[in-house]
Structure 1
Amino acid sequence: MYWPMFHEYQSNTVIKEHYNHTGKLDEAKYTDGLKPEAIAFLLVCLLIVAENAVVLLAIWKNKKFHVPMYYLLGNLTLSDLLAGFAYMINIITSGANTLNMTPVQYFLREGCVFIMLAASVISLLAIAIERHVTMVRMKPYQGNKQGRMFALIGASWVLSVLMGVLPVLGWNCMGNLDTCSTVLPLYAKSYILFSITIFSAILMAIVVLYVRIFRIVKTNTQRLVPQRKGVYRKSQKYMALLKTVTIVLGVFIACWLPLFILLLLDFYCPTKKCKVLLKADYFLGIAMINSLLNPIIYTLTSKDMRRAIIRLICRPCLVTKDGQVKKIGMPFLDCSTTKTHTDAASHRLEGLDTTVSSGNFTPSTIKAIYPRISRT
C-alpha cells in the first residue's frame, strides 16, 4: 500500500503528467532557460535578503532593541529574509528544471513559499496580539513577560511549517487529476482554498484587534483632562502607531491580494479554461514586493533604527580611525540630552513598551531607561 505511493513521490514522470493535464507544457517557459523577467525577480530577491539581513544584524548588535516588541519585528524580518531565499530557489528551479524534479522536491520547493507566507502573516498577528495586550493593560513589560513573546514566535513557526508540509504528507491531487490546481499542478484545489481561508481569517483578526485598539485609544483620549499630559502623550503615541499599522496592512493586502484572487479563480475555474492562471509568476512577483517593503515600514521609520543601520553599514563615514566622531556623524551617534529629570520620569511612567511599540525612542527615554549609561 505504501510502496506505490513512495514510488510516485520519486518519479518525475508524475510532474510531466500533471503539467500536461493543466496545459502548462504548452508554454515556451518549460523549454527555454531563465527569461529576463526571471533574472529581474532574482535581483529583487537578492535585495530582499540583503535588506532584511542588515535589519536583523542591527537588531542583534544593539542591546536596546533586545525587548519583546523588537523580538517580534525581528521574527517578521527573519521570515522575509528566508522568503527571499525561498523565492530564489523557486525561480532558479522553475521552467524546464521543474520537469526534472520529483514530486517530493516539488512539494519542498513550493512548501517553502507557503511556510514563509504563513510565517509573515502569523508574525503580523503576533504583533497585533502583543500591541492589543499592552494597550489593554497599559503597563510596560517585565522580564517574566518575555516568555509570552517567545511562545508567540515558536507557535508562529510551528503552525507555518505544519501548513507548508500538509501537501507532502498527503493533501495533494496525485492520482486524481480532476482536483488539481492549475497554478500548482500537484496541489489539490481544496488545499489552496483552505490556505486562502486561513490567511484571510488571520488578516481579519488583525484588523479586528487594531480596531479595538483604536477605540480604546480614542475613548481614553476623550476622557483625558489637560492636566494629565503624560497620559495624553501616551495616547498620541498609540495613534501614531495605528497610522503605521494601517500602512503595513494596506501594503500587505495590496501585494498579496492579486495572488489570493488568482488562487480563488484557480479553485473555481475548470482546467484549461482560464488562461490568466498560466501567468501566476507575475502575481507572485507582486507578492514578493511585500518582503522588500516590510523592513522599511516596520523599522526604517524608526529614528533609532535608522541610526543603528547607518552606524552598521557606514561606520567609516561617521567615525575616524582613532575613534573620534566626525561632524557629519554627530546627528547619528550623539545620544546627549537636554531634557529635565521630570520629563524623564514622565517617560518612565508611560512605560518602555509604548515607546518601543511606536518605534519612537528619544534621548530622554534612553536616559530614563538606562540612567547608568547616561551618566557615563
Structure 2
Amino acid sequence: SGPSSTPGIYKEYFNTEKIREHYNYTKEGSESSPTTSRWVVSILIVVLCCFIVLENLLVLISVCRNKKFHSAMYIFIGNLAFSDLLAGLAFMANILLSGATTFNLTPVQWFVREGTAFATLAASVFSLLAIAIERHVAITKVKVYSSDKNCRMVLLIGACWVIAAAIGSLPIMGWNCMSDLRDCSTVLPLYSKRYILFVITIFTLILLAIVGLYSRIYCIVRSSHAEIATAQTLALLKTVTIVLGAFIVCWLPAFIILLMDASCPVRACRILYKANYFFAFATLNSAANPIIYTLRSKDMRREFLRVL
C-alpha cells in the first residue's frame, strides 16, 4: 500500500474540495458567509496594509540613502522594516484571497497563502533577535574589526530569512492535518494543532531570550564607563526596547488565541471564529515600528521628510 498511496496523498494537495471539507469540519463553513462587520474589518486591514507597505518602504529608502544609517544597527532596523513590508503584502493577499475565494483555492495555494504570513511573522521575530544579539556583541566587545562585523551581520540576516522560510514551509512539506481531521486547527483548518503549538513555543522562547539579552545589556551599560554608555547608545537601546514592547503588546492577543486553538476541542471555543479581529490588531505592529523610529530619532525624521 506504500508506493500506491503516495500519489494519492499528493493528489489531495490539488483538490479544492479538501478545503471545504476542513472548513466544514472545524468552522461549520463559516468562511463562506461573511458578515457586514467582517467586510468592514477586511477593508480596514487592506487600507492598513497599504499604509504599512508605504511607510516601511520609506524606512528602507531612508536607510539606503543616508550614509549615517549604514551602521550595523540601522541595517538590522532596515531588515526589520523589510520583514514588516512583506508582512503587509502577505496580510493583504491573505485578506483578498479569503472569504468565499478560499473555496476556490487548492490546498497548495492555501498553504502558500498562510505560509507567507507565518514566514514574515517569523522573520520579524528573528530580526528582533538579531538586533538584540548585535547590540549585545557591540556592547560587550567595543572594539570589533569592521570585516568581522560585516560577516556577523550577513550571517545573522541570512539566518533570519532561511529559518523563517523553513518554519513557514513546514505545513506544505507535510506537517499538516490533511490526513487527520481531528488534529486540525480551528483558526487555520489545514494546519496541525501540533504545528501551531510548535510555532508559538519557538516564538515565546525567542522573545524570552531577547528580553534576557536586553536585561543584560542594560546591566552592562549601567555599570560601564561613560565611553560605552553614551547618550546615543542609550537612545538606540530605548528605541529597540520600545519596538520589542510594541511587538509583544500587538501580538500577545493573537498568540493567546493560537494557544487556545491548540488546546480547544473542535467547535468548543466560539471565540476562535473571531480570530480575524485579533490578527487585525497584530497587523498594527508592522505599522507601529516606522512611527516609533520617527518619534525617537531626529535623523530618521529628517530623512523621512527629505524622501517625502
TM-score tier (shorter): over 0.9
Separation in 2 of the partners of 1:139 and 1:299? 29
Residues 80/24 of structure 1: CA separation in 2 closer, same or farther (3 Å cut): farther
Say which SS state the counterpart of residue 35 (structure 1) adopts: helix
Please say if 1:167 is aligned against 2:171: yes
What do the CA deviations read for 1:182-222 (whole angstroms, capped 9, x no partner)?
000000000000000000011001001001111111222xx
Name the structure 2 match of 1:328: none
**Which residue, out of 199, 224, 242, partners 1:247?**
242
Evaluate the alpha carbon distance shift between residue 255 and residue 94 of structure 1 in structure 2; reply closer, same or farther with a 3 A threshold.
Answer: same
Q: CA deviation at 1:51?
A: 0.4
Match of 2:301 among 306, 325, 334: 306
Structure 1 position 144, deviation (Å): 3.9
Across the aligned residues of Structure 1 and Structure 2, the Cα RMSD in angstroms comes to 1.9
Q: Partners of 1:168 and 1:33 in 2: how far apart?
A: 31
CA–CA distance in structure 2, aligned partners of residues 27 and 120 of structure 1 = 28
Per mean C-alpha deviation after superposition, the further-off stretch among 59-68 and 148-157 is 59-68
Deviation of the 1:243 alpha carbon: 2.7
The equivalent residue for 1:110 is: 114
**1:248-267 map, 5 Å:** 248-267=243-262
| TM-score scaled by length of structure 2 | 0.94
Q: How does 1:248-327 map to 2 (within 5 A)?
A: 248-298=243-293, 301-313=296-308
**Equivalent of 2:58 in 39, 54, 61:** 54
Number of positions where the alignment pairs a residue of Structure 1 with one of Structure 2: 304
Which residue of 2, 13, 16 corresponds with 2:6?
2
Query: Within 2, Cα distance between the matches of 1:253 and 1:109?
Result: 24
Q: CA deviation at 1:37?
A: 1.6
Change (3 A) 1:33 1:208: closer
Q: Which residue number in structure 2 is paired with residue 130 of structure 1?
A: 134
- Tell me the distance in 2 between the aligned counterparts of 1:265 and 1:175: 22
SS at match of 2:174: coil
Q: Which has the larger radius of gyration?
A: 1
Q: CA deviation at 1:236?
A: 4.2
Task: Specify the code of the residue in structure 2 equivalent to 1:38.
Answer: S
Match of 1:65 among 48, 69, 72: 69
Which of 227, 239, 243 is the equivalent residue of 1:231?
A: 227
2:124 paired residue among 96, 120, 124 = 120
The corresponding residue for 1:351 is none
Deviations 1:77-119 (CA, angstroms, capped at 9, x unpaired): 0000011000010000000000111000000000000000000
Higher RCO structure (Cα 8 Å, ≥6 apart): 2
Unaligned runs of 5+ residues in structure 1 are 225-229, 314-376
Matched, 1:157 2:157: no
Distance in 1, Cα, partners of 2:139 & 2:165: 30
Q: CA 1:156 to 1:299, structure 2 compared with 1: closer, same or farther past 3 Å?
A: farther
CA distance in 1, matches of 2:37, 2:230: 56
Which 10-residue stretch deviates more, 249-258 or 134-143?
Answer: 134-143
Tell me the CA shift for residue 143 of structure 1: 3.7
Aligned to 2:29: 25
> Aligned partners of 1:250 and 1:139: how far apart in 2?
29
Q: What amino acid sits opposite 1:83 in the alignment?
A: A
- The 1:304–1:132 alpha-carbon spacing in structure 2 relative to 1, beyond 3 Å, is same
